[in-house]
Structure 1
């Protein structure tokens, strides 16, 4: 990879020539010379310099954004070439939406590390749109997302797993004592504790409401799943959550599934990639996703 590009990225991220020089094991004058030459080659100043900081200007932001893509593509190219003679190894950048990333992905990575310890995974957790965009921009090798999103031409989308969404309540909630199935319409006046708009879990809840012509008035929005579970356990309301996310609480009796007619709501998870060429590290990871029995073991069978 071009050294000028590497130096520029380091300076932009460290926002300081001295810190960049230390990270690069270079002298500060050498770093400054690299930046001057790089700016001359680009034909425009890329960094705003003061005594206190170094910051990207508008042109610098454009160059930095594309420089990161170039570095990612170069690394992938090098890994593909290395793979011709070597076993699965090297870096693997994985992105996942919150439910899968927090509750399932750690188990998949642990299994991969047992068999392929030389693979070096890094994980980014975000919402579906963020992960898809990062895959498109080559900042991630692979993404795992749920729900619906705008399909981009560059993306290869492979459905690989299904997730059941169920309604949960505290064990002492009146709904938990019901011996019969609850009609969805009976839940309209309940307090619903839900993820924020834009999340796949919230999209599922809104889809359930639309399917049953419901418009609950009492909704509490919380930005992550764990505090939602704590709020439900505390008796603040009910929620629609992934069966992957509630296994521990069900086993310990902290939450209970409310049997509702027409549920569970099933959503699909997909693998996102772009390049037709895959490193061995990416191949073994995707194979683990495709054929891992743990994914089906998570399925809700009501035998908790």
Structure 2
């Protein structure tokens, strides 16, 4: 890549030499030298300078426009060569719903870094609806969501199974029973996730399936907050086994014995296009083959 053009573009976009030097991990005199050499090459000044900022002049505008195009071609050329040599590298934006993103995804990212250190993942965590919308809006390369999400404009592919249980504090009276009835469940306060969450969708699906009409429902936007509230004895909830391992091992939460449990749902990969970079291909392959759910 032409270092002179890269330095020039960075100076223009950062607005001054010191910020450009910081971005490029160079000294300010080195940045100035690169700009001076570029100006000597073209035989004219390219920047109007003051103590506080730099600004493109007419000649600079021409160089900047074509420099961006040239640097873009360098980047495209490198990506094509990397793909040809099967060297997965570059940025990869990944979104995941809370259960998978907070309790499973870190294991995948560690494995990804171990096998493909040149891939630079950027992670966003949100509920199922938020992640799907970010994929739709081209803000994520791939999403991982919970439940039966459908959108004709997205490709949704299940890749793993999740197991869910109704949970209470170990001191809760339902946790002491050998079997719990539908009427018992209806009398309790249910702590549920917000609308748009895959865990909320699962809870509502189970309410319909078991014909449960809870008398009291409280809505929280955090799985951790739900666990702590249930642990305090305020109510019961439906959560993935992945989120309660620590609390179960410490004897803080207990599975309520209900006929027909546990409940099952799917984790799915969400894409907006069939085109995949090499980095995205290896990440999806890792998801499908690396067993971090057990």
Report if TM-score (shorter chain) is over 0.5.
yes
Q: Which residue of 2 aligns with 1:48?
A: none
* Kept in 1: contact 2:89–2:118 (CA 8 A): yes
What is the rounded CA distance, in whole Å, between the counterparts of 1:288 and 1:99 in structure 2? 18
Cα distance, 1:21 vs structure 2: 6.5
What CA deviation, in whole Å up to 9, does each residue of 1:129-156 have, x standing for no partner? 2212222232211110112334133x22
What CA deviation, in whole Å up to 9, does each residue of 1:254-281 have, x standing for no partner? 1111111122221111111233332222
Consecutive unaligned residues in structure 1, runs of 5 or more: 12-16, 42-73, 298-304
Cα distance, 1:20 vs structure 2: 11
Q: Which residue of 2 aligns with 1:173?
A: 172
TM-score normalised per structure 2: 0.74
Q: Which residue of 2 aligns with 1:101?
A: 101
TM-score normalised per structure 1: 0.72
What is the rounded CA distance, in whole Å, between the counterparts of 1:244 and 1:149 in structure 2? 20
C-alpha spacing 1:248/1:257, structure 2 compared with 1 (3 Å): same
Is 1:202 aligned to residue 194 of structure 2? no
Consecutive unaligned residues in structure 2, runs of 5 or more: 1-5, 25-30, 32-48, 66-73
The root-mean-square deviation of aligned C-alpha atoms, in Å, is 3.5
The SS at the match of 1:197 is coil
C-alpha spacing 1:112/1:76, structure 2 compared with 1 (3 Å): farther
The SS at the match of 1:294 is coil
Alignment coverage as a number of residue pairs? 254
What CA deviation, in whole Å up to 9, does each residue of 1:177-200 have, x standing for no partner? 112x32233210101111112211
* Kept in 2: contact 1:189–1:217 (CA 8 A): yes
The SS at the match of 1:271 is strand
C-alpha spacing 1:33/1:267, structure 2 compared with 1 (3 Å): farther
Q: Which residue of 2 aligns with 1:121?
A: 121
1:245 to 243, 256, 280: 243
The SS at the match of 1:168 is strand
Q: Which residue of 2 aligns with 1:85?
A: 85
C-alpha spacing 1:144/1:33, structure 2 compared with 1 (3 Å): farther
* Kept in 2: contact 1:21–1:31 (CA 8 A): no
* Kept in 2: contact 1:184–1:261 (CA 8 A): no
Q: Which runs of 4+ in 1 moved over 4 A?
A: 17-34, 74-78
